[in-house]
């Protein structure tokens, strides 16, 4: 079916568990649960966390534990990783962790896998990540699949729990390499266009053209992640967006900090070179009233033909963040 609007696809949420200025990770985890419970009521399909390390403003380092926290506090929404950075971990450990999660929360756990370290090189070394780890990503994905398969019950190394459980594996990516792998393995594909938009369309094309059906997936299935900041007025949305822009600017400049409170957009002044880099990085960002962003999102869906839209909303105020998710969900009924 050709997708023409937000009505034609699933909506999901990516949460990096941002730590707000003036607050602690404990506050973040409480807020994440409130958001998950709220978007579950709104009908969102998934709630994912992304593995990151050594970042003062991101508290999703122990991703599997946070997944358990959210799954325990919800009942229907799928919960998972977007993703687990597989080269940081032994495939057996990941199989056991997610096997445990899937045993505790049947038919609700997703396992998204990425090849990046989710951190800087020094921290990657502290994680005992080998220099060749990214090159071995395809092999490690297949090793993980083996541990989760029912056919491995006679293997010398087994994942208990994990073996034979229905845990959907996703390949995550921000380049075309991941598209080739997802297509070859017949796995669903999620693209990080919320911070790496450049190769989105090329990667999706590669995935569709080269997809091979598998026991998990008979037809291609794609998801793109975008930034959404919706509010009752464009002025309010632009103000809320200053927190989000400041966070991404920190990634560009290396000055990473906690998520800052919003400021008047007229007071948010940055270097023109940094502004250009920022706008390129966040080009798939939809900011404004529902009337403004609906056409933009529908156009994005029409061009990409994605099956699912995952949204990330770096908004400092919890109530404003919840309201943004509500406004977005209501577009499915317009």
Greater confidence (4 vs 297) lies with 297
> For position 184, which CATH number holds?
3.20.20.30
Taking residues 220-235, report their average pLDDT.
98
What is the model's pLDDT at position 152?
97
What is the number of domains present in the chain? 1
Confidence of residue 193 (pLDDT cuts 50, 70, 90): very high
Confidence of residue 253 (pLDDT cuts 50, 70, 90): confident
Instruction: Of 138-142, 213-217, 267-271, 323-327, give the lowest mean pLDDT range.
Output: 267-271
Confidence of residue 117 (pLDDT cuts 50, 70, 90): low
Residue 269 lies in a domain: no
Residue 114 lies in a domain: yes
Instruction: Of 57-66, 185-194, 250-259, 323-332, give the lowest mean pLDDT range.
Output: 250-259
Residue 36 lies in a domain: yes
Residue 58 lies in a domain: yes
* Residue 198 lies in domain: 6-230+284-333
Residue 239 lies in a domain: no
Residue 241 lies in a domain: no
What is the model's pLDDT at position 267?
86
Res 52 pLDDT > 90: no
Residue 63 lies in a domain: yes
Residue 124 lies in a domain: yes
What is the Cα–Cα distance from 164 to 152, expressed in whole angstroms? 8
Res 209 pLDDT > 70: yes
Res 272 pLDDT > 90: no
Res 304 pLDDT > 80: yes
């Amino acid at each position: 079916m050709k997708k023409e609007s937000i009505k034609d696809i699933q909506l999901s949420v990516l949460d990096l568990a941002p730590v707000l200025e003036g607050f602690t990770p404990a506050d973040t985890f409480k807020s994440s649960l409130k958001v998950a419970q709220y978007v579950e009521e709104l009908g969102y399909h998934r709630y994912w966390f992304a593995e990151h390390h050594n970042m003062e403003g991101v508290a999703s380092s122990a991703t599997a534990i946070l997944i358990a926290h959210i799954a325990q506090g919800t009942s229907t929404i799928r919960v998972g990783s977007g993703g687990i950075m597989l080269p940081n971990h032994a495939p057996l450990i990941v199989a056991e962790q997610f096997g445990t999660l899937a045993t505790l929360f049947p038919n609700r756990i997703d396992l998204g896998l990425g090849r990046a370290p989710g951190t800087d090189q020094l921290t990657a070394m502290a994680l005992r990540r080998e220099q060749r780890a990214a090159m071995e990503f395809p092999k490690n994905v297949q090793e993980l699949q083996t541990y989760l398969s029912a056919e491995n019950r006679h293997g010398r190394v087994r994942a208990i729990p994990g073996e034979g459980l229905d845990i959907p594996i996703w390949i995550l990516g921000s380049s075309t390499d991941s598209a080739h792998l997802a297509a070859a393995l017949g796995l669903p594909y999620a693209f990080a266009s919320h911070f790496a938009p450049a190769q989105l369309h090329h990667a999706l094309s590669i995935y569709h053209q080269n997809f091979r059906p598998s026991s998990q997936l008979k037809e291609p299935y794609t998801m793109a992640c975008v930034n959404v900041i919706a509010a009752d007025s464009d002025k309010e949305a632009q103000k809320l967006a200053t927190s989000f822009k400041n966070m991404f600017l920190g990634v560009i400049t290396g000055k990473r900090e906690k998520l800052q409170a919003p400021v008047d957009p007229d007071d948010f002044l940055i270097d023109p070179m940094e502004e250009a880099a920022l706008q390129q990085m966040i080009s798939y960002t939809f900011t404004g009233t529902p009337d403004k962003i609906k056409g933009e999102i529908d156009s994005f869906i029409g061009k990409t033909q994605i099956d699912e839209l995952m949204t990330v909303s770096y908004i400092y105020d919890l109530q404003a963040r919840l309201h943004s998710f509500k406004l977005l969900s209501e577009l499915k009924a317009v």
